[in-house]
């Protein structure tokens, strides 16, 4: 298959494309490419891509990457001329991400990070496509006691026998598969280790906290922090993450894994307070036990992203929260007058 498009635009595949980050990535890629979005809606939403469905350069295929993928069997993809042009880029973001329903998806998560990886990597080999793997900060293990920033060359320490190891160790294994396919098949690969991300289109009432903070603040309900008042994290806005992914994919050669996130540490209690202030809410903050999927994580060293990609997160927290609040209000059909503004 050609490594350059026969036609004017590249054919690009995004797995997990109806997810939170995936839908923003599809939107960005449509500026210059023809995009095939694959998802099974396990923890994503069709509403995330509804606005893209009328675009003639976009097509959605509902399927599970844990099953063998034959894109050429879909008549709706005939206009992409896959047999002649193939696929030039594959972005793999497929993996269940649910804090409150984590237990429900443990087996599927294990398969996505192994069987699903094989299926998508085999597709990349078939078409000679450049491959991006969406990895995660959890591969480094828990937040270090000395508070140092994680560099990409750090091995990390993950207990591979815990209930959440299907995700943590699974993502480490997914990186191993990516590199192995690169070495064995000459596949051109990129790995981005994404740290905690926020913004519009995050699932509501799923324990991710940020969207629930906003929804509950708008409705005057308690904001629930799953952890004590010292629960800390870093937060990077979703469009900044997409910018980094695109920059990484377009580097001239594989530069190894790259951290994508914010190195600014903040207490979730302080985030909740900012949201209460921005929504002029009377809500209170309460604490509950930590969720398995929402644990305190370390922060990234961004030296490599700065020097090799020319990337830094640009959206300040206040601006990102305001955008997220506006989106939530629009989605819920709420009016500002309902909240005493």
pLDDT of residue 157: 82
Q: What is the CATH number of the domain that holds 101?
A: 3.40.50.720
CA torsion through residues 146, 150, 154, 156, sign: positive
Looking at the structure, do residues 62 and 97 belong to the same domain, yes or no?
yes
Closest CA to 275 of 288, 266, 263: 266
Residue 3 in any domain: the answer is: no
Looking at the structure, do residues 21 and 38 belong to the same domain, yes or no?
yes
Q: Contact 121/176 with Cβ under 8 angstroms?
A: no
Q: Cα 278 from chain centroid?
A: 26
Residue 334 in any domain: the answer is: no
Residue 103 in any domain: the answer is: yes
Residue 339 in any domain: the answer is: no
Domain membership of residue 80 as a residue range: 10-197+238-260
pLDDT of residue 335: 37
Rg value, the chain, Cα: 20
Looking at the structure, do residues 139 and 209 belong to the same domain, yes or no?
no
Q: How far is CA 222 from CA 22, 273, 303, 334, in A?
A: 30, 12, 39, 18
* In 158-261, beta strands by DSSP E: 189-194, 197-198, 223-226, 232-233, 236-237, 258-260
Residue 105 in any domain: the answer is: yes
Looking at the structure, do residues 77 and 222 belong to the same domain, yes or no?
no
Cα–Cα distance for residue pair 186/193, rounded to 1 Å: 22
- 224: phi then psi, degrees, rounded to nearest 5: -95, 120
Q: How many helices (H) and strands (E) does the chain have?
A: 10, 13
CB-based burial, 138-168: b 16+ in 10 Å, e otherwise: bbbbebeeeeebbebeeebebeeeeebbbbb
Looking at the structure, do residues 206 and 282 belong to the same domain, yes or no?
yes
Would you tell me how many other CB atoms lie within 10 Å of the CB of residue 7?
11
Q: Contact 82/71 with Cβ under 8 angstroms?
A: yes
Closest CA to 298 of 233, 250, 227: 233
Looking at the structure, do residues 183 and 319 belong to the same domain, yes or no?
no
Looking at the structure, do residues 64 and 183 belong to the same domain, yes or no?
yes
Q: How many domains does the chain have?
A: 2
Looking at the structure, do residues 256 and 207 belong to the same domain, yes or no?
no
Residue 109 in any domain: the answer is: yes
Q: What is the CATH number of the domain that holds 272?
A: 3.90.25.10
Looking at the structure, do residues 169 and 284 belong to the same domain, yes or no?
no
Per-residue pLDDT of the chain (341 residues; tens, 9 = 90+): 445 556 689 999 999 999 999 999 999 999 999 999 999 999 999 999 999 999 999 999 999 999 999 999 999 999 999 999 999 999 999 999 877 788 888 999 999 999 999 999 999 999 999 999 999 999 999 899 898 999 999 988 888 988 889 999 999 999 999 999 999 999 999 999 999 999 999 887 776 788 999 999 999 999 999 888 998 999 999 999 999 999 999 999 999 999 999 999 999 999 999 999 999 999 999 999 887 666 788 999 999 999 999 999 999 999 999 999 999 888 776 434 344 43
pLDDT of residue 274: 97
Looking at the structure, do residues 127 and 246 belong to the same domain, yes or no?
yes
Residue 35 in any domain: the answer is: yes
pLDDT of residue 295: 75
Instruction: List residues with catalytic annotation.
Output: 167
Residue 215 in any domain: the answer is: yes
Looking at the structure, do residues 253 and 118 belong to the same domain, yes or no?
yes
Looking at the structure, do residues 101 and 249 belong to the same domain, yes or no?
yes
């Amino acid at each position: 298959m050609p490594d350059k498009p026969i036609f004017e635009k590249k054919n690009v595949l995004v797995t997990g494309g109806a997810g939170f980050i995936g839908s923003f990535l599809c939107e960005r890629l449509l500026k210059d490419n023809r995009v095939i979005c694959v998802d099974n809606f396990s923890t994503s939403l069709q509403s995330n891509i509804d606005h893209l469905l009328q675009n003639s350069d976009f097509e959605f295929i509902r399927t599970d990457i844990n099953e063998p993928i034959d894109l050429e069997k879909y008549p709706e993809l005939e206009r992409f001329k896959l047999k002649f042009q193939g696929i030039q880029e594959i972005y793999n973001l497929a993996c269940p991400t649910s804090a409150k329903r984590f237990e429900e998806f443990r087996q599927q998560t294990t398969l996505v990070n192994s069987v699903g990886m094989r299926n998508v990597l085999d597709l990349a080999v078939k078409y000679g496509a450049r491959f991006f793997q969406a990895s995660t900060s959890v591969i480094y293990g828990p937040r270090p006691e000395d508070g140092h920033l994680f560099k990409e060359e750090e091995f990390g320490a993950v207990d591979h026998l815990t209930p959440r190891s299907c995700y943590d160790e699974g993502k480490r294994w997914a990186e191993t598969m990516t590199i192995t396919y690169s070495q064995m098949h000459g596949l051109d690969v990129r790995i981005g280790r994404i740290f905690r991300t926020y913004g519009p289109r995050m699932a509501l009432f799923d324990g991710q906290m940020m969207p629930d903070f906003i929804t509950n603040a708008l409705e005057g309900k308690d904001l629930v922090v799953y952890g004590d008042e010292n629960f800390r994290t870093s937060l990077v806005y979703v469009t900044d993450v997409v910018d980094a992914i695109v920059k990484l994919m377009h580097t001239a050669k594989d530069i190894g894994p790259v951290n994508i996130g914010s190195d600014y540490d903040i207490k979730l209690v302080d985030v909740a307070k900012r949201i209460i202030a921005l929504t002029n809410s009377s809500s209170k903050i309460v604490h509950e036990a930590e969720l398995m999927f929402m644990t305190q994580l370390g922060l990234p060293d961004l030296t490599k992203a700065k020097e090799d990609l020319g990337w830094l997160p640009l959206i300040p927290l206040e601006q990102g929260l305001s955008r997220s609040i506006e989106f939530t209000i629009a989605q819920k059909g709420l009016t500002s007058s309902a909240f005493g503004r």
